Structure 1
Amino acid sequence: MKRRTLLALAASTVLLAACGQSPTNDAETKATDTAASGGSDLLQRINNGGTINVGTEGTYPPFTYHDESGKLTGYDVEVTRAVADKLGVKVEFQETQWDAMLAGLDAKRFDMVANQVSLTTPERLAKYDKAQAYSWSGAVVLAPKDDNRYSSWEALKGLRSAQSLTSNYGELAERYQAEVIPVDGMAQAIQLVKQDRADFTMNDNLAILDYLKKFPDAALEIKLTAPVSEQTGSGLVLIKGDDAVLAKLDEAMAALAADGTLTKLSQEFFGADISQQK
């Protein structure tokens, strides 16, 4: 009897130990299965021709907006659709406000963001990855076409610059010792330049290109462009760590650059090629 009892206790101990180990084994098995099946869920969807979910604003022309028919379009949107075509997947856009964009990415409401995002802060760089840039921008000087005083940035000294006092461009004008004429925003600044109440204004290259495309008869042109070292690139942004997906996005973007798709879309929305640094 005593031997039988000891055997029963031993069997129970083995059974309990096995039960206690099963969650760890299940977790290890799942991790192994995930790795064996091709990586992350997003990578598997891309490899299997599934659907990627992309967050975008939908109210930020000409990057992401609705046209007269109600269709979601814009440079960022059409670039993303072209990337999806290269990857052989479908794309669904989830529209959200800018302030909630990265929070939605954190919460996995979508897989990536297409909304002119540049990772310029240490906090963002630590948390997110950006695929190869599809647009580049920096400060430019806008002035009348017949004004030939803009041989260099140093030539801005003493000239009148229409700028918002709280903007980076106002600070840049002051750095080059221009006389700053205070304005509320870009629209007012351009009006002062056209009225000869200011010599020039500075703003983001993409914003100025958008204006010039909409108003080709404005008799204004870009005189100076920020050097390459001061330009920032925007691209598809996703949570850091999915290197295999990032590599596929980079490969697709490189192919779109090589076959002229990015240049074509740039010309369509901006009248200039914004996909390359110049």
Structure 2
Amino acid sequence: MTHRSLSSLSKVAVVATSVLLIAACNKTPTNENTDANATAETGSDLMNRISSGGTINVGTEGTYPPFTYHNEKGDLTGYDVEVTRAIADKLGVKVEFKETQWDAMLAGLDSKRFDMVANQVSLTTPERKAKYDKADAYSWSGAVVLAKKSDSRFNAWESVKGLKSAQSLSSNYGELAEKYQAEVVPVDGMAQAIELVKQGRADFTMNDNLAVLDYLKKFPDSDLEIKLTAPAEEKTGSGLVLRKGDDAVVAKLNEAMQALKADGTLTRLSEEFFGEDISQP
């Protein structure tokens, strides 16, 4: 509603109100807003810790040789673990590993229990790619089918349809088994999966070629063998995985990875755990 005339008192009130409004608009931001702006300018908490030589927290299984496991002395080691330690050295930070079952790994990342995951993670689904970032790959491999030597049913990947596959439900290989329409038998990890196959409670298990080769090398009398191997073009790269949105941290991790490739550290660690360089596709 518009008034065509105002009394002197009304005019004074309007002027006073206008002054207050101008003052409010020019008011210095509160400490809360200032702190928020400062955080945005200086980067994430993780980036700040990396920049200041702090500690990064990394989730890993500790039960998935040769990638992450405990040696005869009880020390946590493995290819992923040692690569992560080498990355931390390049960044000038400390690393603290938090051992977690695979099925709870990404949930722990979501809840910020740790900053990243080092556990042969490949972002193979649109959902994971939309939710997580992965640094440059430090290993390349493909899926294989492991079954009893006497089982002659495996002549093509399509032949696993309807067969029982022992898999961790949320793993890449669990997803692959479902893709080929196998009946998934849930397990906590590779060791349990292999036992179910040996006992005849599952027909096969899918897992990483390198992990399976490591198992067969350690247990040549297991009566198991690789039946199917993924073609070269289907190899996937695994690297450190973290929550989406921290591009500066991913860039730092990639810089460290390039340095480890250049100085031969990745090749040395590959040959130590696998006898060949698995850091190249």
TM-score (norm 2): 0.68
Aligned equivalent of 2:214? 210
The answer to whether the Cα contact below 8 Å between 2:135 and 2:253 also exists between their aligned partners in 1 is yes
Within the alignment, does 1:30 sit opposite 2:29 as a pair?
no
The answer to whether the Cα contact below 8 Å between 2:65 and 2:211 also exists between their aligned partners in 1 is no
Deviations 1:129-172 (A, max 9, x none): 01111111113589xxxxxxxxxxxxx57xx99x9643757997
Aligned equivalent of 1:249? 253
Q: Could you list the runs of 5+ residues in structure 2 that have no partner in the other structure?
A: 1-8, 147-154, 167-175, 183-191, 199-204
> Residues 63 and 44 from structure 1, CA distance in 2 versus in 1: closer, same or farther, beyond 3 angstroms?
same
Q: How does 1:84-95 map to 2 (within 5 A)?
A: 84-95=88-99
Aligned equivalent of 1:61? 65
Give the residue type in structure 2 aligned to 1:130: K
Deviations 1:224-245 (A, max 9, x none): 8533421111110000010000
Tell me how far 1:15 sits from its aligned partner.
8.6
Distance 2:268 2:54 in 1: 27
Tell me how far 1:30 sits from its aligned partner.
2.0
Within the alignment, does 1:99 sit opposite 2:98 as a pair?
no
Distance 1:105 1:98 in 2: 11
Tell me how far 1:13 sits from its aligned partner.
8.3
Local SS of the residue matching 1:166 = strand
Q: How does 1:143-222 map to 2 (within 5 A)?
A: 165-166=164-165, 204-214=208-218
Within the alignment, does 1:232 sit opposite 2:231 as a pair?
no
The answer to whether the Cα contact below 8 Å between 1:165 and 1:171 also exists between their aligned partners in 2 is no
> Residues 258 and 216 from structure 1, CA distance in 2 versus in 1: closer, same or farther, beyond 3 angstroms?
farther
The answer to whether the Cα contact below 8 Å between 2:46 and 2:56 also exists between their aligned partners in 1 is yes
Q: How does 1:1-20 map to 2 (within 5 A)?
A: none
Deviations 1:57-90 (A, max 9, x none): 1122221111121211111111100000011111
Distance 2:178 2:104 in 1: 28
The answer to whether the Cα contact below 8 Å between 2:66 and 2:211 also exists between their aligned partners in 1 is no
> Residues 105 and 216 from structure 1, CA distance in 2 versus in 1: closer, same or farther, beyond 3 angstroms?
same
Give the residue type in structure 2 aligned to 1:123: E
> Residues 202 and 12 from structure 1, CA distance in 2 versus in 1: closer, same or farther, beyond 3 angstroms?
closer
The answer to whether the Cα contact below 8 Å between 2:69 and 2:76 also exists between their aligned partners in 1 is yes
Aligned equivalent of 2:171? none
Distance 1:189 1:100 in 2: 24
Distance 2:206 2:49 in 1: 44
Deviations 1:4-36 (A, max 9, x none): xx79999998898889x855x732x22331244
Aligned equivalent of 2:266? 262
The answer to whether the Cα contact below 8 Å between 2:62 and 2:99 also exists between their aligned partners in 1 is yes
Equivalenced residue count is: 244
What CA RMSD, in Å, does the superposition of the two structures yield over aligned residues?
4.2
> Residues 170 and 33 from structure 1, CA distance in 2 versus in 1: closer, same or farther, beyond 3 angstroms?
closer
Deviations 1:32-52 (A, max 9, x none): 312443x11111111111111
Aligned equivalent of 1:126? 130
> Residues 32 and 140 from structure 1, CA distance in 2 versus in 1: closer, same or farther, beyond 3 angstroms?
same
Give the residue type in structure 2 aligned to 1:82: A
Instruction: Give identity over the alignment, percent.
Output: 69
Aligned equivalent of 1:82? 86
Deviations 1:114-136 (A, max 9, x none): 11111111111111001111111
Distance 1:213 1:261 in 2: 24
TM-score (norm 1): 0.69
